[in-house]
Amino acid sequence: MATWNSRGLRGSTLEEFINRTNETYLTNGLALIQKVPTPITPINIDKATRHITLAYFEQKSTVDYIGAVQGIPVCFDAKECATDTFPLQNIHEHQVTFMENFEKQGGISFFLISFTARNEFYYLRLAKLLEFWNRAKEGGRKSFRYEELESDYFLPKGKAVLVPYLDTLQKDLLARD
């Protein structure tokens, strides 16, 4: 079973960037996106600092963020990748199922991936993820490569916001029509 400290703080920088971006979007009236907390059960607490040093996750998390953009329900998960190959084992079956069901209800689901070595952010549409996911289920590659990604879905370098995903979300919406 995974524990809180065994996973370290993977993705914490990306999540901090996204949190700041979401605050800017809220301030400007563009979106209301909230971080979904993952319930944990503390096991060890440092009495001096009152910090949790060991904990177990109570349940499987679904997505990192959920909310609405201009009246459209949105959910997404944030992932970091240090190389040009993203292992699909970093995405869990229950997350994919939740996202598929979310889209059946009229929402938009996606992943924001930080390619840390390249200092680039990518908006992975659920439909594109499902291509990779199904390929793996059929015995193909259990990962996808940077070169396989759709060039239109790399996020521009942000000036006003750190992870400017709204314009790319708009591309995703237009591609669905």
The annotation places the binding site for Mg(2+) at 62, 64, 77, 95
Query: CA dist 23 to 29, 38, 116, 144, Å?
Result: 10, 20, 23, 31
* Binding site per annotation, positions: 62, 64, 77, 95
Residue 135 and residue 128: Cα distance in Å, rounded? 11
List the alpha helices (DSSP H) in the chain: 12-27, 93-104, 126-137, 166-176
Residue pair 148/3 in contact (Cβ under 8 Å)? The answer is no
Q: Is 148 helix (H, G, I), strand (E, B) or coil?
A: helix
Length of the chain: 177
User: Taking a C-beta distance cutoff of 8 angstroms, is the pair 19, 37 a contact?
Assistant: no
Spatial distance between the Cα atoms of 82 and 118, rounded to a whole number of angstroms: 8
Which residues are paired to 145 by β-bridges?
A: 85
